[in-house]
Structure 1
Amino acid sequence: MKKTIGILGAGKLGTVLGQLALKAGYQVLIAGSGDPAKIALTVEVLLPGAGALSAAAVAAQAELIVLALPLGKYQTLDPKQLANKLVVDAMNYWWEVDGKETKLNDARTSSSELVQAYLKNSTVVKAFNHMGYHDLYDETRPSGAKGRKAIAFVGNDKQGLGRVAVLIDALGFDPYYAGELKQGIRLEPGSPVFGANVSLAELKKLVAAFVESPRGREVLRARGGEI
């Protein structure tokens, strides 16, 4: 039986992740905002074989849920629907979309920690946020292939991290565990990792380089010298 992935967000990132998941043999369910009929044509064209459903239906039927919506909309999610689910946070803060919301860009916490605090009965893992959707689509390669790129992920739950590592590999990238959920700030906009389309070895260097970056120094000051 195929494993089922649910994607909340039918924009560019959501549809690309859906395409990669379909190619990897997963069943894909996807929801946009509101009536599923609004994304039916998009799904038919870009994701043949996937299901366009309501957010509630996706949450009920999928084993793993990817959040591919604007970060500022995370509080529109229903925590009860996502309770006891593995949730992959692929969201980023963009002030042009989310507004100048300081809480979403607070150096004292990662955005994924905010999501986890809101979805307190879910297991949140940060992944698929630092590589552009176009690179995700173009760079997928089988395990062991020359030139394979890497995706960083962070989280606190060992079992959930293992499942996300398997997903990253299945979608065509080398998984790199970059620490606990609070380390997700190393993957956010403003970090050396953000936008990275690089090998596993290079990705490790970029994650480590965060502390020397302007954003890293800001975070160190806000957190009393620790990340």
Structure 2
Amino acid sequence: MTVISKTFLKIPEVFLMEIGFIGGGHVAQVLASLFINAGHSVVLTNKHGLDRLKPVIQRLGARAEAGNLAEVARQELIVLALPYKAIFELDQTLFNGKAVVDATNYFPHRDGEFEQLTSHQLASSELVAHHFKGAKIVKAFNTIPVANLENLARNVSDDKRIALPIAGDSQVKATVSDLIKQIGFTPYNVGDLKDSLKFQADTPLFLFSGNRNELTAKFAK
């Protein structure tokens, strides 16, 4: 990976990453735009055909391209930005050995009944990890409406930035935490993937935005 200067990103020693998105909708587009602004490159795919992504790629600019599933899977970091139920239509071996961010939310009325999830036997991201057994997975970017992300990003001190909860594989968590900082937020380490139960769509953390102290208080309730 290439190192770019702090004069470009205002962050010392930022390593450029190649980031793939499964999904080309609003979540993928907003996150891709933030990552591109931080100097990274992105590859997006969707199930509707790459022609549908041409206007999106044009808006995102030279650091973005459309690709098929195999091309997305070759990127250093893969973001799942598609309806939750669609995850289980993907090949279970697609992300073997890869770093994966689960940015999805499980909604029973849309995604169908998963008894292990509605009973909280498993976090929704744990079920994703069970599907992609060879992947290293973290949960992130799922709590704040994506439309607000660009407006909430701030180049201010860490304690004043909006904090984004993250949980899962420790190595990937470190990488994604750096990415969260680069796009103007504070990473909030919740723990292992099981702990992502605490900030799913059926919790008080969903749609909540606050700094580190405010998020700590919210978790304590």
CA distance in 2, matches of 1:162, 1:134: 25
Deviation readout 1:19-46 (Å, 9 max, x if unpaired): 000001101111111421221122212x
Q: Report if aligned partners of 2:158, 2:186 keep a CA contact under 8 Å in 1.
A: no
> Tell me, what secondary structure is at the counterpart of 1:176?
strand
2:194 pairs with 1:190: no
- Give the ranges of 4+ consecutive aligned residues of structure 1 lying more than 6 Å apart after TM superposition: none
Give the aligned partner of residue 219 of structure 1. none
Give the aligned partner of residue 7 of structure 2. none
2:158 pairs with 1:148: no
Q: Which amino acid aligns with 2:219?
A: V
> Tell me, what secondary structure is at the counterpart of 1:87?
strand
Identity of aligned pairs, percent?
33
> Tell me, what secondary structure is at the counterpart of 1:178?
strand
Q: Gaps spanning 5+ residues in structure 1: where?
A: 210-227
CA distance in 2, matches of 1:208, 1:109: 21
Q: Report if aligned partners of 1:150, 1:197 keep a CA contact under 8 Å in 2.
A: yes
Q: Which amino acid aligns with 2:172?
A: G
Give the aligned partner of residue 173 of structure 2. 161
**TM-score, normalised via structure 2 length:** 0.87
Q: Report if aligned partners of 1:85, 1:122 keep a CA contact under 8 Å in 2.
A: yes
Q: Report if aligned partners of 1:125, 1:160 keep a CA contact under 8 Å in 2.
A: yes
Q: 1:30 aligns with which of 26, 40, 44?
A: 44
Say what the alpha-carbon RMSD is for the aligned residues.
Answer: 1.6
CA distance in 2, matches of 1:145, 1:163: 17
> Tell me, what secondary structure is at the counterpart of 1:194?
coil
Q: Which amino acid aligns with 1:174?
A: T
CA distance in 2, matches of 1:101, 1:43: 35
> Tell me, what secondary structure is at the counterpart of 1:40?
helix
Q: Report if aligned partners of 1:93, 1:105 keep a CA contact under 8 Å in 2.
A: no
Deviation readout 1:95-140 (Å, 9 max, x if unpaired): 3431344444331110000000111110010000011101212111
Q: Which amino acid aligns with 1:195?
A: L
> Tell me, what secondary structure is at the counterpart of 1:33?
coil
Give the aligned partner of residue 25 of structure 2. 11
2:93 pairs with 1:80: yes
Cα distance, 1:80 vs structure 2: 2.1
CA distance in 2, matches of 1:15, 1:166: 20
Cα distance, 1:66 vs structure 2: 0.6
Q: Which amino acid aligns with 2:73?
A: A
Q: Report if aligned partners of 2:165, 2:190 keep a CA contact under 8 Å in 1.
A: yes
Cα distance, 1:18 vs structure 2: 0.4
Flag the 1:44–1:184 CA change in 2: closer, same or farther, 3 A: same
Aligned residues: 206
CA distance in 2, matches of 1:100, 1:112: 15
Q: Report if aligned partners of 1:135, 1:197 keep a CA contact under 8 Å in 2.
A: no
Cα distance, 1:143 vs structure 2: 5.1
> Tell me, what secondary structure is at the counterpart of 1:28?
strand
CA distance in 1, matches of 2:158, 2:172: 26
Q: 1:127 aligns with which of 140, 145, 148?
A: 140
CA distance in 2, matches of 1:143, 1:106: 40
Q: Which moved more, 1:162-171 or 1:104-113?
A: 104-113
Cα distance, 1:56 vs structure 2: 1.6
Give the aligned partner of residue 117 of structure 1. 130
Q: Report if aligned partners of 1:34, 1:54 keep a CA contact under 8 Å in 2.
A: no
Q: Which moved more, 1:85-94 or 1:142-151?
A: 142-151
Q: Which amino acid aligns with 2:184?
A: G
Q: Report if aligned partners of 2:159, 2:212 keep a CA contact under 8 Å in 1.
A: no
**TM-score, normalised via structure 1 length:** 0.85
